[in-house]
Structure 1
Amino acid sequence: MVTFDLFRQLALSLPEVTEEPHFEKTSFRVKKKIFATYVAELQIATVKLSEIDQDVFSSNDRTVIYPVNNKWGKQGWTMIEMKRVNEGLFTDALRTAYCEVAPKNLRLQLKQNEGE
């Protein structure tokens, strides 16, 4: 299980991330591009992945991580059941989503920070 407080902490630890409202959701953005959202009442996160990454993460357990069931899902938006996901898998998915939308210089900065 991953709490929203941990989600927020992980997201805001990434380079140049901001937290902003997005309709009824909380969104996390890099350079104004959304890479993750959270719906509190459902305890569901949604992250932006490539089609390949979406398939890889979803293949682990489609009851925990799965594509959004509409055209957004075909564009890589992937739902994560926060009550059921383990922290390691969630952290990997969140970082992958960040790298999907972040500019190259910020992706490199993140990789350099991970190497320290």
Structure 2
Amino acid sequence: MADADMLRSLALSLEGASEAPHFDRAAFKVRRIFATLAADGLTANFKFAPDEQQFKCEMLPHAFSPVQNAWGRQGWTTAVLSELEEADLRDALETAWRHALPGRRRT
């Protein structure tokens, strides 16, 4: 079962990643934000391409759901950390991180 400490550790292990405050959340970014952690540490948001979002939500519907606004239509996806195994969390972070790397076009 994943938790906030695991997310923070995995996110910061990605090349070039840093943590900074973002409103009431902790944001993880390279060139731009690829994931945020809720203040209560129970959920996180990830920036996926829309097709990646759909796949994650279909494969693990108890864990992933689109953010319920225009951000969700752009691929931002909420995950309930306690519903993820470490491998699922690592994959979500790496997927989102790749979109934030310098030289990548926005999706």
After TM superposition, is the score higher than 0.5?
yes
Query: Runs of 5+ in structure 2 lacking a partner?
Result: none
The count of aligned residue pairs is 104
Aligned residues of 2:3 and 2:41 also touching (Cα < 8 A): no
Q: TM-score, normalised by structure 1?
A: 0.84
Structure with larger Rg: 1
Per-residue CA deviation, residues 44-87 of structure 1 (Å, 9 max, x unaligned), is 00000001111111111222111101110000000000111111
Structure 1 residues not aligned, in runs of 5+: 106-116
Q: Which residue of 2 aligns with 1:73?
A: 72
Structure 1's 99 and 74: CA in aligned 2 closer, same or farther, altered over 3 A?
Answer: same
2:34 aligned counterpart, secondary structure:
strand
Q: Give the 4+ runs in structure 1 shifted more than 2 A.
A: none
Tell whether the 8 Å contact from 2:4 to 2:41 is kept in structure 1 after alignment: no
Residue type matched to 2:96 in 1?
A
Q: Give percent identity, aligned residues only.
A: 37
Quick one: distance in 2 between partners of 1:35 and 1:54? Answer: 13
Cα-to-partner distance string for 1:90-111 (whole Å, 9 max, x where unaligned) = 1101100000121259xxxxxx
Aligned-CA RMSD value: 1.4
